[in-house]
Structure 1
Amino acid sequence: MVTTQTTTRRALRTRILTARDALAPAERHRLSGLVHSNLWKLPSFAIAATVLLYVDFRSEVETMAMLRLCLLTGKTVAVPRVADNHRLIPYQLTAPDLELIPGAYGILEPDPVRCLAVAPAAIELVVLPGSVFDEQGGRLGYGGGYYDRFLANEAPQAVRLGIAFELQVVPSLPLLAHDQRLHGLVTERRTLAFPA
Structure 2
Amino acid sequence: MTPINNKQSLRALIRKRRRALSGPARRKAAKALLERLRELEGFMGAETVGMYLASDGEIDLGPTMAWCWENRITTCVPVMGEDDRVLSFAAMDRDTPLAANRFGILEPRTGDGEGMDAGALDILLMPLVAFDVRGNRLGMGGGFYDTTLRANREAGRPQPVLAGVAHEIQRIERIDADPWDMPLDVAVTDVAIHRFANTAIAAGASSSA
Q: CA deviation at 1:189?
A: 1.5
Question: Is the Cα contact below 8 Å between 2:149 and 2:182 reproduced in 1?
Answer: yes
The correspondence for 1:30, drawn from 9, 18, 28, is 28
1:54/1:79 contact within 8 Å kept: yes
Q: Distance in 1 between matches of 2:33 and 2:128?
A: 14
Alignment counterpart, residue 72 of structure 2, candidates 71, 74, 77: 74
Unaligned stretches of 5+ residues in structure 1: 1-5
Q: Are residues 1:11 and 2:13 paired? A: no
Q: Which runs of 4+ in 1 moved over 4 A?
A: none
Identify, as 1 or 2, the structure richer in helix. 1
Please give the alpha-carbon distance, in whole angstroms, between the structure 2 residues aligned to 1:139 and 1:171.
12
CA distance in 2, matches of 1:113, 1:29: 33
Identity of aligned residues (%): 28
8 Å contact kept, 1:39–1:45: yes
**Structure 1 partner of 2:207:** none
Kindly tell me: are residues 54 and 115 of structure 1, through their superposed partners in 2, closer, same or farther at Cα, counting changes over 3 Å?
Answer: farther
Contact 1:102-1:109 at 8 Å conserved across structures? yes
The aligned runs of 1:56-135 (5 Å cut-off) are: 56-85=54-83, 86-93=85-92, 95-113=93-111, 116-135=114-133
**Mean alpha-carbon deviation: is it higher for 151-160 or for 17-26?**
151-160
Q: CA deviation at 1:113?
A: 4.1
Q: How many pairs were matched up? A: 190
User: Unaligned regions of 5+ residues in structure 2, if any?
Assistant: 200-209
Residue-by-residue CA offset, 1:18-74 (whole Å, 9 max, x unaligned): 111111122111112111210121011000111111111131000122112112211
Question: For 1:152, what is the secondary structure of its paired residue?
Answer: helix
**Alignment partner of 1:181 is 2:180:** no
Normalising by structure 1, we get a TM-score of 0.90
Whole-angstrom distance in 2 between the partners of 1:75 and 1:141: 26
Aligned AA (1:89): S
- Report the 3-state secondary structure (helix = DSSP H, G, I; strand = E; otherwise coil) of the residue aligned with 1:118: coil
- Whether contact under 8 Å (1:125, 1:158) holds in the other structure is yes
Q: Deviations over 1:158-195 (max 9, x none)?
A: 10000111110001111101110000011111111112
What RMSD over aligned residues (CA atoms) do the two structures have, in Å? Answer: 2.0
- Give, in whole Å, the separation in 2 of the partners of 1:7 and 1:169: 14
- State the distance in 1 between where 2:41 and 2:139 align: 25
